[in-house]
Amino acid sequence: FFGGSGAIMYVAQIFGYYDYIEINSFLTGATSIGIISGAYSTEVFRGAIQSIDKGQFEACHVLGLKKYIYFFKVIMPQMLRLAIPNLSNVWQITLKDTSLISVTGLVEIMRQSYIAAGSTRDPLFFYSFAALLYLMLTYLSMKFINRVEKKYSRGY
């Protein structure tokens, strides 16, 4: 979260820009969480592609299919079936990691609960409400992911 601004200033100085660069806290948080969850998702997709039988790739090659055709018509449907459960885990991790954005100064659910609990001296209510919001977000996203998983797991 904090090392990026120094690196950006250093790169800017290399190109002759010596003024201070202000970095938006939302952009910082969204970029860092996006990079982290993107790395996890990449590993999920890599594992799903590697678990597909090599005979599928060989059959597409023997049939003379172009790479983009056999990827979208043969490999990707099988990959999605295997990747969706693990992507739901990545989504849950990303949802939990959003509470770490408050370090950058951005006010999110837990930070707002902390501020409200401190000003009213009623922490149980506000932290319970925040927990209920996270539970609701988790529940709704899992219902959606279960529908998508059910759609892609049916046989052809």
pLDDT digits (tens, 9 = 90+) for 95-133: 888 877 777 667 788 888 888 988 988 889 999 998 999
Q: Mean pLDDT, to the nearest integer, of 85-102?
A: 87
Q: Which CATH superfamily is domain 3-153 in?
A: MetI-like (1.10.3720.10)
Q: Helices (DSSP H) in the chain: which residue ranges?
A: 3-14, 25-50, 54-63, 67-70, 76-97, 109-120, 123-153
Q: Which residues contact 120 (CB under 8 A, 6 or more apart)?
A: 126
CB 100 within 8 A of CB 58: no
pTM: 0.76
Give the model's pLDDT for residue 155: 65
* For the chain, domain boundaries: 3-153
Q: Give the pLDDT band (50/70/90) at residue 18.
A: confident
